[in-house]
Amino acid sequence: MAKPTGFLEFPREVGADRDVRERLGDWQSIHLHLPDERLQTQAARCMDCGIPFCHKGRILNRMTSGCPINNLIPEWNDLVYRGLWHEAYDRLTKTNNFPEFTGLVCPAPCEAACTLGISEPAVTIKSIEYAIIEKAYEEGWVTPNMPRKRTGKKVAVIGSGPAGLACADQLNLVGHEVTVYERADRIGGLLMYGIPNMKLEKSLVQRRIDLMAAAGIRFVPNTEIGRDMPAVHLRHEFDAIVLCTGATKPRDLLVPGRELPGIHFAMDFLGPNTQKLLGDREIGRLETHQSPNLAVSPPPISQSLFISAAGKDVIVIGGGDTGTDCVATALRHNCASLTQFEIMERPPDERLADNPWPQWPRVFKQDYGQEEATAVYGRDPREFNILTKRFIGDEQGQLQAVETVQVRWETNGNGPKLVEIPGTEHIWPAQLVLLAMGFLGPEGGLLNQLSVDADERSNAKAAYGTFHTNVPGVFAAGDARRGQSLVVWAINEGRGAAREVDRWLMGETDLP
C-alpha cells in the first residue's frame, strides 16, 4: 500500500477552482490543480483495503457505485505516492482509454465507494487520475496506439462520443481498419459539443483525436448515417458495424405555450455555443489537418443557429449536469436573471439511513454553475418541488413568462405521486427557457434502416456483455444501448463492444 498511516495523517485536499468572478469573464477551464508533491501526499491516503469497492462499478439503488471501467485505483495510487509516474500511467491505461476525460467530467462514483469514505473524506481519486495522464502527455509518454499488424477486417463505428471513440481505439489496437462516422462538423460527440469548454477544454478532446487518427483510425465528420449515407451502404462495405450514436432524443415539456419562440432544448443552446467559440481567436481554432485521417475543420457556425442569453430572464428546467451547464453558459452570456427549476425535492444536507455507503450519496451540493449563479445573484438559482404549468407569450407572440406551481411527493402503494399545492401558483419572467430534462433514446430511423430491434425504451436492443443486436455483425454500445448514462459507462461499453466485435470477426479475442 502507499503509506500505512497516510489516511490517518493527511486530510483530503483537492485543487481549487479558479475564482468565480474571474472565470465568469471567459470560457477557459475552471479548474486549478495541485502540484505533484501534494498529489503524492493525497495518494498516500489510499488504504489499499482488502476489498477495494472503488474499482468495481455496480448499480446500487439505481445509482452507480465504484468505477465501471475497473480502474486499478489502489495500484496507481501506490505508484504515484512512490513517485513512479510512468508505471502509474501504464496501470491507468490498462483499463481507461481516456483518463483526461474521466479525470475532468466523471462524477467520480469511485470516490463515493472509497472505503475511507465510511468515516473520513474519500481519497481524491479523480484528481490523481487526471494528474497521471497530464504528466504522461508532458513527458511524451502518450503516443499513437499503433497495431502490430492489420487483419484486413473493416469496422464502421457510428458516433464519435466516448463509447464510439473507446470502441474504435480498441478495435484499431488489434489491427482492424476502423472508420468512425460523425454527423457533426467535428469529431468528439458529447465530449466536443455536449460539455462546455470551461468544463472540458476542446483542445484536450482534439489532442486525443489527433493521436487516434495518427494510429490509423479514419474519421468522417459531417456525415449522418441514414440521411447523408444510406445505412445499407455500410452493410456492404464493412465486416461489422457498431452503433454508438448516443441517446440524443431530448425529453420535451408539452404544456400550453410550448410553441412560443424562445423555448429550446439544452443541446440546441450548448452545442452551437461551443461551435461558435471554436471559431473565435480567443479560444483558438481547432484545426484537424494534422493527419490524413482527419478532415479540415469547417467554417464557424452560422449566427442564425446561435442562441444568446444576453440581457434575458432565463429559466433552466432540469436539475442535472446538462442543466448546470446551461446555467454556467447563460451566466457567461450576461443574462439578466437566472432560475433553475427542479421537480424533485431538495436533497438532505447529510446522508439518510436509506442511502448508506457505498451507494452514491444523495446529498445537497452546489456544482460549478450553481456556485457561479450564487456569486452573481447572492442565492442558489434552484427552485425545488416546482412544476411548470404553461408558457406565456406577449401580444407579439414572444415568450414573456412561465407559470409554475409548487408540488409535493406522496407515497402510496403504487409508488411516488406528484401532488400540486393549491395557492402556490407563480409567474416567472422569461424570454429564454432551456429544457434540460434528460434524454429518451436514439434519434431518427437508423435502427429501422438496419432492421435492428429496439427495446421498450427505444434503445438499440443488445444484451450487455455481448452487445450484439438481432442483426448479424451489427453491435450497439453506450447510451444508444443502455440509455442516458455516465461517460465512464460509455467507455465501459465501447471497450466491451470492441471485444465482442473482435471475437465475432476473428473467432477469439485478446481484448479485455
| Three-state secondary-structure class, residue 184 | coil
* Between 27 and 4, residue with greater pLDDT: 27
pLDDT computed for residue 414 by the predictor: 79
Give the angle subtended at the CA of 189 by the CAs of 234 and 148, to the nearest 5°: 60
Segment among 61-75, 282-296, 335-349, 427-441 with least mean pLDDT: 282-296
- Per-residue model confidence (pLDDT) at position 188: 97
Torsion of CA 300, 213, 203, 80, to 10 degrees: 170
66 closest CA partner among 19, 120, 114: 114
What proportion of the chain, given as a percentage, has pLDDT over 70? 95
Confidence band of 1 (pLDDT split at 50, 70, 90): low
Q: 358 preceded by cis ω (within 30°)?
A: yes
Task: For each of the domains in the chain, give its residue range(s) and CATH number, in order of start.
Answer: 6-139 (1.10.1060.10), 154-248+440-506 (3.50.50.60), 252-287+301-437 (3.50.50.60)
Torsion sign over Cα 85, 45, 117, 52: positive
The number of helices, as runs of H, and strands, as runs of E, in the chain is: 17, 18
Angle at which helices 368-377 and 321-332 cross, to 10°: 40
Residues with Cβ within 8 Å of 281's Cβ and at least 6 positions away in sequence, in order, are: none
How much is the pLDDT for 257? 97
Q: How sure is the predictor about 50, in pLDDT bands with cuts at 50, 70 and 90?
A: confident
pLDDT (mean) for 97-105 = 97
Residue 100 has a pLDDT of 97
pLDDT in tens, 481-505: 999 999 999 999 999 999 999 999 9
C-alpha distances out from residue 69 to 9, 66, 94, 462, Å? 30, 9, 10, 19
What pLDDT is attached to residue 416?
A: 85
Residue 75 has pLDDT above 90, yes or no: yes
Q: For residues 149 and 235, is the Cβ–Cβ distance under 8 A?
A: no
pLDDT at 305: 81
Q: Identify each DSSP E strand in 169-247 by its residue range.
A: 177-181, 218-220, 240-243
Q: Strands 415-420 and 399-412, how do they pair? A: antiparallel
| Structure confidence by residue, pLDDT tens digits, 392-424 | 999 999 999 999 999 999 987 778 899 999 999
Cα–Cα distance for residue pair 267/273, rounded to 1 Å: 9
- 282-322, pLDDT tens digit by residue? 333 333 333 344 433 333 444 458 999 999 999 999 999 99
> CB under 8 Å to 304, separation ≥6 — which residues?
none
pTM over 0.85: yes
Rounded-to-integer distance, Cα 384 and Cα 165, Å: 37
Residue 415: predicted pLDDT? 80
Grid coordinates representing 13 are 485536499
Rounded (5°) CA angle 168-494-439: 120
Spatial contact of 471 and 451, defined as CB atoms under 8 Å apart:
yes
| pLDDT band at 19; cut points 50, 70, 90 | very high
The three cell numbers of residue 32 are 486549478
| pLDDT surpasses 70 at 363 | yes
Q: Rounded to whole angstroms, how far apart are CA atoms 334 and 316? A: 15
